[in-house]
Amino acid sequence: MSDLRLTYRDAGVDIDAANEAVHRMREHVRSTFTPQVLTDIGSFGGMFALNGLDGYSDPVLVSSIDGVGTKVKIAAQLGAHSSIGQDLVNHCVNDILVQGARALFFLDYFGTGRLVPSVAEEIIRGLSEACKNVGCALIGGETAEMPGLYPEGEYDLVGCIVGIVDRHRIIDGTKVAPGDTVIGLASNGLHTNGFSLVRKALLEGPEPFSLYEYIPCLGRTLGEELLAVHRCYAPTILPLLTTFDIHAMAHITGGGFYENIPRVVPPDCSIIIDRRSWKVPPIFTLIQEKGGVPEPEMYRTFNMGIGMVLIAPPEQAPLIVNHLNEAGEVASIIGDIRQGVHEVVII
């Protein structure tokens, strides 16, 4: 029999650090609770009561799960973690928004090789801040310390969101028809997709940039640009849904224009996008030039300055654009729907 006396900490898992992390994040999480939250931190399952939610006659739950990809590597390198939590929540809120849903509650998964309580707290602080901005409860999560699986100093972050929409208000794209107008809402930069290509083009080439390098065309350091928080469109779009007839919405994330917009239009429709109708932010030009990325690949990978697309009747489109711009968005008409073969054509 061996005299070896191993503990979990010897194997790389520090339960005391996990307890400290929970203690640090407790008040951040509680600050997001709504009256419908029935459980406190530490419960095996989070409970959320649907009674007390006014204004719904035939409520439908809408759920989604996503991550922020390799943007976490940039956050880890810069030691700036709160924005990555905001990215995750805003991304997920936008995903269910396209079906007309309002966020109810959120759960997160944070996995790392070695748990640093201050890092975990910063991430949860960002998650909590973004949740509060849309009235969403951070109802639970998982913090996993797995030495040997994640490189030192790196982590992964995933979130699951549940929202609600009345059945008769679900937006599913079935009303889209030729003649409809395509409206684009400006992004806040890269948002949370395409970072593997970004790192390859800007950080791993023969003459790589530094994340701390000031880039004149960006007006800030590269790191600051790459960590710009994913814009959340719910506060400005949700109020429009009871006033205007929005036929479809598409969140422009992984897959860019070519993959995301066709998901919400009928198979006999083509989407014509006029590239001249908005200004592409300089970060995308920098990536394209530095990496020699073909233009179609740019529009298949990145949002190119348009984070959300709305499709509406042509007579309502100008009014929608005006309302969005008055609410703080940068919105414009960027194209139209035509009879076709279910594809995006960028002019």
Give the tens place of pLDDT for each residue, 134-184: 999 999 999 999 998 988 888 999 999 999 999 999 999 999 999 999 999
Reduced to 3 states (helix: H, G, I; strand: E, B; else coil), residue 41 is coil
Torsion of CA 201, 202, 207, 209, to 10 degrees: 180
**Is the distance from CB of 255 to CB of 194 less than 8 angstroms?**
no
The answer to whether the 15-169 and 181-346 domains have the same CATH topology is no
Query: What was the pLDDT predicted at 151?
Result: 87
Tell me: pLDDT of 259 over 90.
Answer: yes
Q: Where are the domains of the chain?
A: 15-169, 181-346
**Is the distance from CB of 14 to CB of 115 less than 8 angstroms?**
yes
The residues with which 281 forms a beta bridge, in sequence order, are none
The pTM score is 0.93
Query: What was the pLDDT predicted at 298?
Result: 96
Helix (H) or strand (E) run with residue 223 in it: helix 222-226
DSSP 150: B
- CATH architecture type of domain 15-169: 2-Layer Sandwich (3.30)
**Is the distance from CB of 185 to CB of 306 less than 8 angstroms?**
yes
Tell me: pLDDT of 75 over 60.
Answer: yes
**Is the distance from CB of 167 to CB of 256 less than 8 angstroms?**
no
Tell me: pLDDT of 333 over 70.
Answer: yes
Share of the chain above pLDDT 70, in %: 97
Largest CA distance in the chain: 82
Share of the chain above pLDDT 90, in %: 79
Overall CATH class of domain 181-346: alpha beta
Query: What was the pLDDT predicted at 256?
Result: 95
**Is the distance from CB of 322 to CB of 281 less than 8 angstroms?**
no
**Is the distance from CB of 259 to CB of 300 less than 8 angstroms?**
yes
Query: What was the pLDDT predicted at 14?
Result: 72
User: Strand 306-312's sheet: what is its strand order?
Assistant: 248-251, 306-312, 181-186, 331-339, 269-273, 344-346
Cβ-based burial of 18 (10 A; exposed 0-12, middle 13-18, buried ≥19): middle
Cα–Cα distance, 170 to 100 (Å, whole number): 6
Highest mean pLDDT among 31-40, 201-210, 321-330: 321-330
Tens-digit pLDDT profile for residues 78-124: 999 989 999 999 999 999 999 999 999 999 999 999 989 899 999 99
- Those residues whose C-beta lies under 8 Å from the C-beta of residue 112, and which sit 6 or more positions away, are 119, 120, 144, 145, 146, 150, 154, 155, 156
**Is the distance from CB of 283 to CB of 191 less than 8 angstroms?**
no
Tokens 């924005």 -> residue: 83
Tell me: pLDDT of 5 over 90.
Answer: no
